[in-house]
Structure 1
Amino acid sequence: MDGQENEERGTGDEAAPEAGRARRRAFRWPGARWWVAGLRRLGLALAVLVVTLAGTVAGTYAGGHQGTDIGPFRAELSLSPSLSGGTTIDVSPLGALLLDSHNGPAYLTVKLGSLDQRRTEALLDDPASISRASQSAVEDVRIGVMRLGLKTLAWAVLATLLLAGLVFRNVRRTAWAGGLALVITGGSLGLAAATVRPQSIEEPRYEGLLVNAPAIVGDARRIANDYTKYAEQLQRMVGNVSQLYTTVSALPLYEPAPGSTRVLHVSDMHLNPTGWSLIRTVVEQFGIDVVIDTGDITDWGSEPEASYVGSIGLLKKPYVYIRGNHDSARTAAAVAQQPNAIVLDNSTTTVSGLTIAGIGDPRFTPDKETSPAGSGLTPQVADQVIGAGEQLGTTVKNSPTKVDIALVHDPASAGPLSGITPLVLAGHLHERQVAKLPQPPGADPTTLMVEGSTGGAGLRGLEGEKPTPLTMTVLYFDQQKMLQAYDEITVGGTGQSQVNLERHVIREPEKGAQVPVTPTPTRGGLESSTPTPAVTPTR
């Protein structure tokens, strides 16, 4: 028994040396040990690289964003990994501008938020600050991008260190991963900075509604040149506006009777902040009781534009508004939130003793240029526009109180209101017109007054050879709520600074007098040959 155990023990003892000899034979090739060790190091290096890349990407997405102020805008800057590089300027919900601004591997996204009302008003109160803001905008972007780069670098390294610590649980390998993240992220940002192409801003690609921007606003560089003139002349213009009372005193004496009501008619602001400064001046100096806005207060009817209407509340006067074809339901809702605003949509209201009826434009076409009423309207669109006037006409007829003023955006809607209200106010054309509507047999005459653009047509006002002036009209109503006189106020457009005020006293034309003919759109886009007498004023 003991012998058998010894034999078995001896066999085992002999097996161990045999296995050792086999291993030694396997490593008899001198490079085999180094090959295995090299494979092991390579695997560890690849593992460190993979963890580093994962941590860098995670850190970039987690911390690669930075809020900053660019002029009156609040902007959100963000970085993301990319092979091609470039920049997207997101103007939600209008679309985006795509710039080939730099090479990869970092992509910059700039998301413009809403205008800051306080900073925007500061630009208006100090015209010289417009020039300073335009100069500081470049510095704002540079500082914002630098802060974004440093923040992204810190987050990438931190995320990599945390991930490497969890994966390797080894200080040396974690440190290697952190250092590699620093090199990769810093090198990527350095490459992007070294390949920046500032001229790319002149050659953007458009997405969304901004595809129409070049057709709407014209050549960007020419507009920028014109706007420089605008900034230079803004100080003089504001000074001239403050002297409107002096201009009034030089006119032939017209003193409204006690108990009269003064209405300021504005239209087609198109986001021009200068219009608010002019409106506030006129409201204060002319003792305005009611402000009436016949639409197109914005350009695109988007949510970021909604902050523009916040100046309505600063007027401290009733503000009666109807929607234009550039205004959305969201725009109307933003106006309605102002404490002194009244939004009419096929409805009536009574303000300062005046009963006013109004209806919004049936179209929402922010991506199309304004076209004159009765010109360029397809039969279907003409039916829409004239149909709105017919709807309002029914509302006026059914009103328990006599309607003193009817409001439409497009003058093409005014025809059905003839003979059922003494005065119709409109806008849309960016050009003043005053005329009598074709009068049905036995009906009282109706005057149509089309306002120009209180915002100088916005950016569109810079397209022509001469800039579009800023216009508004003060209407005087007697105790019987009949229009007795009106003052036409005109402020020179971009690069111009003159202020004109013309006073008109309403007098009916003498019997037998010849009056000009103004065509009136009808359903189907045809024009009526019925003469439309114009109001004959004395100045």
Structure 2
Amino acid sequence: MDDHENEKPHRDPDGNDPTGRPRRFVSLRRAAAGSPRAGRRSGLRRIGAGLALLVVTLTGVLLGLLAGGHVSTDIGPFQARLSVSPSVNGSTTVDIPPLGALLLDSHDGPTRLTVELGALDQGRTEALIDDPASINRATQSAVDDVREGVLRLGLRTVGATVLATLVLALLAFRDTRRAAWAGALALAISAGSLGTAAATVRPQAIEEPTYEGLLVNAPAIVGDVRKIADDYGRYAEQLQRLIGNVTQLYTTVSALPVYEPEPGTTRVLHISDLHLGPAAWQLIRTVTEQFGIDVVIDTGDITDWGSEPEASYVGSISLLEKPYVFIRGNHDSPRTAAAVARQPNAIVVDNTTVTVAGLTIAGIGDPRFTPDKSTSPASGGLNPSTADILIDSGETLAATIRSSPRPVDIALVHDPASAGPLSGTCPLVLAGHTHDRRVNTLPEVPGEQPTTLMVQGSTGGAGLRGLEGEEPTPLAMTVLYFDQDKQLQAYDDITVGGTGQAQVNLERTVVQPPTPLLPPTLSPTPTPTR
């Protein structure tokens, strides 16, 4: 036997092992390694590691949803955005800005699908008009468009959540094994949630939507939706006419003749009664750019109910990049006026005057707030008390104009019933409210220049009300041309849609200069004879 085998481990005289640690400590440590307390600590460490892994995974899934849980897709002629988000109860939300949303109890599971309809695509919309049969194909292909978009959304969401979780786990743990576990767990969570939604889809949910926002106050639209199943053919024809009117904004407005005024002419675009019309802003932007508009004047009723959800509609004002002078209509609340005033290029006038593009403009908001009342002349006209309120409003503005340090070029009222007291205070009064364009001269005041009243139609096609008839209400606006002396020289009345064969019409009127007032003639005083 080798002598080295019989050698015992060397210890120093104090009884320490070769590492220098006291022998009794080594024995205690070995004994503690197998104790129950050590087992509990080991179990707690495993639980803590598992919880940390779960927290990192859930955080990665949420970050992945925020970063990649959305896709853009085409649904018929619309550009749409699909997104998925966590939810206690599975559902689908169809956002139709600015009208509101449809809520569908479409599936189960912890995911919510949001479909936000955006702008109309010009090319696809034109194709619908060129081929009458394409409207049927478009409605059929819309289902396939949604299905394809949802499939791409699911794949993108799963990929984004797994990738975000892997990156976060590597940063948190600096361990590829634990990062792989986190990625696998993220795949199970995201794929399982989306799989549950797909397995529990209820197609019949489209027949029982819950309405939010302005759609709650739109019985005409809700009624049309309910009629689709009973009279789909008639609905498709109405939809085709509506899309035809919208398409004309893109295809024929660009061919409108442009009035060539003298240098120094100020161009004003008069609009009114948009009533949340979805096609109005595109037409306004087109005319503003093509006609070189200097200032836009809006004589009220930009909204329908003056509610908070409608405030987003006025955000398009800033896109015009031109001064925008606004007075409140009877459908506009103080909240609406405040939303308009927040736009960087907007000016809200209410019994005040402002000078814009060299024109001095005075205006006053409608004294009423009656969003539940019809504006059509057939609704019964004005009762005496309402007429008195409107006339008082006009007299208030007339007093403001007379006290203005600068002569007023244009006065603004919403209801033409307020215009009477303004006769003789300024050359031109602009109004709206009736959805019926007309031009007339106010009763003259002796010794004062005549005052012209121009009442605008509805630039928004009367909003939702314009869809109640067999044909949509025309979209109306007017371009006014003022010379260097701020005198109205001509105006172009533009009408789009709802006119049968002629979808777009422009009628130019040249204004005859007013006859200057002559000083009163004095009869010669006879010379007394002696």
Asked whether the two chains share a fold, i.e. TM above 0.5, the reply is yes
Gaps of 5+ in 1: 1-46, 166-170, 249-254, 510-539
Letter in 2 for 1:105: G
How many correspondences in the alignment? 439
Which of 406, 418, 423 lines up with 1:413 in the alignment? 418
Distance 1:142 1:412, change over 3 A: farther
Q: How does 1:145-160 map to 2 (within 5 A)?
A: 145-148=154-157, 151=160
1:207-230 deviations in whole A, cap 9, x for unaligned?
344311334675245777544445
Aligned partner of 2:256 in structure 1 is 244
Q: How does 1:42-57 map to 2 (within 5 A)?
A: none
Which of 289, 313, 337 lines up with 1:329 in the alignment? 337
Distance 1:124 1:85, change over 3 A: closer
Is the 8 Å Cα contact of residues 233 and 495 (structure 1) preserved in structure 2?
no
Distance 1:99 1:267, change over 3 A: same
Q: How does 1:69-148 map to 2 (within 5 A)?
A: 69=72, 77-80=83-86, 82=88, 85-89=90-94, 96-102=101-107, 104-110=108-114, 112=116, 123=121, 128=126, 138=146, 139-148=148-157
Aligned partner of 1:489 in structure 2 is 494
Cα distance in 1 between the residues matched to 2:481 and 2:189: 72
Please say if 1:357 is aligned against 2:365: no
Structure 1 residue 205: deviation in Å?
0.8
Distance 1:181 1:379, change over 3 A: farther
Q: How does 1:174-253 map to 2 (within 5 A)?
A: 186-215=191-220, 219-220=224-225, 226-231=238-243, 238-245=250-257
Higher mean Cα deviation, 151-160 or 262-271? 151-160
Please say if 1:305 is aligned against 2:313: yes
1:269-314 deviations in whole A, cap 9, x for unaligned?
345565455445555665655432223445566343244223311x
1:31-66 deviations in whole A, cap 9, x for unaligned?
xxxxxxxxxxxxxxxx99999999998776665552
Structure 1 residue 489: deviation in Å?
2.2
Q: How does 1:225-304 map to 2 (within 5 A)?
A: 226-231=238-243, 238-245=250-257, 261-272=266-277, 274-276=279-281, 278-279=283-284, 282-283=287-288, 288-297=293-302, 302-304=310-312
Which of 320, 324, 328 lines up with 2:325 in the alignment? 320
TM-score, normalised via structure 2 length: 0.63
Is the 8 Å Cα contact of residues 215 and 221 (structure 2) preserved in structure 1?
no
1:229-248 deviations in whole A, cap 9, x for unaligned?
454566666554333329x8
Is the 8 Å Cα contact of residues 67 and 74 (structure 1) preserved in structure 2?
no
Structure 1 residue 206: deviation in Å?
1.5
Secondary structure (helix, strand or coil) at the match of 1:474 reads strand
Secondary structure (helix, strand or coil) at the match of 1:245 reads coil
Structure 1 residue 199: deviation in Å?
4.8
TM-score, normalised via structure 1 length: 0.62
Is the 8 Å Cα contact of residues 105 and 192 (structure 1) preserved in structure 2?
yes
Cα distance in 1 between the residues matched to 2:458 and 2:404: 30
1:253-273 deviations in whole A, cap 9, x for unaligned?
xx9788665433222334556
Which of 450, 455, 462 lines up with 2:460 in the alignment? 455
Please say if 1:348 is aligned against 2:356: no
Structure 1 residue 193: deviation in Å?
0.6
Structure 1 residue 80: deviation in Å?
3.2
Which of 397, 404, 415 lines up with 2:402 in the alignment? 397
1:428-465 deviations in whole A, cap 9, x for unaligned?
32221223445567655433211112232344433311
Is the 8 Å Cα contact of residues 94 and 102 (structure 2) preserved in structure 1?
yes
Distance 1:53 1:356, change over 3 A: same
Aligned partner of 1:43 in structure 2 is none
Is the 8 Å Cα contact of residues 376 and 435 (structure 2) preserved in structure 1?
no
Distance 1:92 1:387, change over 3 A: farther
Cα distance in 2 between the residues matched to 1:207 and 1:239: 33
1:326-348 deviations in whole A, cap 9, x for unaligned?
4713431244x13xx54433222
1:493-521 deviations in whole A, cap 9, x for unaligned?
49865322334455799xxxxxxxxxxxx
Which of 498, 505, 510 lines up with 1:500 in the alignment? 505
Q: Percent identity?
A: 54
Distance 1:124 1:376, change over 3 A: farther
Is the 8 Å Cα contact of residues 391 and 418 (structure 2) preserved in structure 1?
yes
Cα distance in 2 between the residues matched to 1:353 and 1:179: 68
Distance 1:62 1:274, change over 3 A: closer
Distance 1:207 1:377, change over 3 A: farther
Cα distance in 1 between the residues matched to 2:187 and 2:294: 65
Cα distance in 2 between the residues matched to 1:127 and 1:223: 17
Secondary structure (helix, strand or coil) at the match of 1:356 reads strand
Letter in 2 for 1:406: A
CA RMSD of aligned residues (A): 5.2
Is the 8 Å Cα contact of residues 97 and 205 (structure 1) preserved in structure 2?
yes
